[in-house]
Structure 1
Amino acid sequence: MATTKTKKANATIIETATGKVLGLVTKVNDFALIKTEKAVVSSFEMAEKCIGFSGKIMKKGLQVSASQQDMFFDVLGNIKKKVVKK
């Protein structure tokens, strides 16, 4: 009889320890999931801001390029008028 009580006591201690470890591992897993989700969301937000900023810079660059082309063709048109008059 003493051995069956000892086995039950050992089984209870093991079950208790296993339950505590499982609870701890679950908390660590939840913590890791939350932090990972925050990191991914913040990286997507940062990428979105960078893409928006890049788009604005490209738009400005294209506007400058368009105005330079307009000036270039205006100068060519004026030169053409002077050459055709002579």
Structure 2
Amino acid sequence: MRAVIYAKINMKGIVSQHIMQKGTNMDDMEKLLTIKDVQEHLQLGRNRVYQLIKIDSFPKIKIGNTYRIPKREYLEWVQNNIGKTVFL
């Protein structure tokens, strides 16, 4: 039992070292927006945002039954669609 626990602790240390060496941590990761974030930003209702998500060009990640929107890609999508009509 001790060997297993030791291995887990050791692996955690190795992973932590790898993250520190690569300069990757949670602060460096891209923010993912929620449906509510997009609602507030675009001043749209929940149903309209779900209609927006159905558009192929709209950036989204489906995790189980929920959607997350990569912030950088979302802002690029908004910028690329300024002045255009988005049909829902």
Q: Common fold, TM-score beyond 0.5?
A: no
**Counting helix residues as a fraction of each chain, which structure ranks higher?**
1
For normalisation by structure 2, the TM-score amounts to 0.30
